[in-house]
Amino acid sequence: MNQGLFITGTDTNIGKTVLSAALMHRYRGEMKVRYWKPVQTGFPEDDDTAVVRTLGECGDAEILDKGVRLPRPLSPHLAAELSGAHIDMHAVSATMREPAGWIVEGAGGVLVPLNETDLMIDLIRLLGMVAVVMTRSALGTINHTLLTLEALRSRRLPIAGVVMGGEPNRENRRAIEKYGCIPVLGELPRFPELDGTVLREWALTELDRHACLRPFLAGDAK
């Protein structure tokens, strides 16, 4: 198992990027953490690495700004096809070499295609990382979250926990924890104005209060 977390979600634009920035704030005081977005579509208009750099208040050494960058805001397999490219997940995975507490952000959900045969979940397996699932708090989230958890577990991929985004919903949280047999590590609100200071305050007080993610980032998980 590689040292770090793979941030995935139940959908695109679910909050994975903000969560990744929050995790940088949460754990940089305890260990060396680095962020990486292996595959980015819609680039450069959509640049999650730049967002994490700003919201996470990251220095250059905390960011790995290399990987597949495709111009059309589409599923990775289609964005690559229309650009005359091919995403080779083995070549992509070779980019991540330096030991660190890696926070790796996926594109879309776990079953998003990368090419003719490989899905995002296959990249998670290849990297050997533990998944953290970002999900919505609103109606429909129970089904979407449980399906994502089932997809990961059916491939015997470890999951560290779930983070919910949006208006807090106590009943949906309880249902996900009960039926998903998984801890909810935080509830990320929609901030009226989001910047690095606001996100840092939330991350240090509300995210992963019991430090469930620390062993995976530190590389000492059993």
Position 221 in a domain:
no
Position 82 in a domain:
yes
Question: What is the predicted pLDDT for the residue at 41?
Answer: 98
Position 98 in a domain:
yes
Position 58 in a domain:
yes
Catalytic positions are 37
pLDDT tens per residue across span 157-203: 999 999 999 999 999 999 999 999 999 999 999 999 999 999 999 99
Question: What is the predicted pLDDT for the residue at 2?
Answer: 73
CATH of the domain at 56: 3.40.50.300
Position 222 in a domain:
no
Share of the chain above pLDDT 70, in %: 99
pTM attached to this predicted model:
0.96
pLDDT tens per residue across span 21-42: 999 999 999 999 999 999 999 9
Question: What is the predicted pLDDT for the residue at 1?
Answer: 59
Quote the domain boundaries for residue 46: 4-214
Q: How confident is the model at residue 97 (pLDDT cuts 50, 70, 90)?
A: confident
CB 213 within 8 A of CB 5: yes
pLDDT tens per residue across span 42-94: 999 999 999 999 999 999 999 999 999 999 999 999 999 999 999 999 999 99
Position 220 in a domain:
no
Question: What is the predicted pLDDT for the residue at 201?
Answer: 98
Question: What is the predicted pLDDT for the residue at 48?
Answer: 98
Question: What is the predicted pLDDT for the residue at 222?
Answer: 60
Nearest CA-CA partner of 63 in 39, 96, 29: 96
**Count of domains observed in the chain:** 1
Proportion of the chain in helix, strand, coil states, percent, rounded to 5: 40, 20, 45
**Residue 112 pLDDT > 70:** yes
Rounded to the nearest 5 degrees, what angle is found at the Cα of 117, between the Cα atoms of 111 and 118? Answer: 45
**Residue 221 pLDDT > 80:** no
CB 68 within 8 A of CB 106: no
What whole-number distance in Å separates Cα of residue 9 and Cα of residue 212? 18
CB 65 within 8 A of CB 49: yes
Question: What is the predicted pLDDT for the residue at 98?
Answer: 85
What whole-number distance in Å separates Cα of residue 46 and Cα of residue 120? 19
Position 201 in a domain:
yes
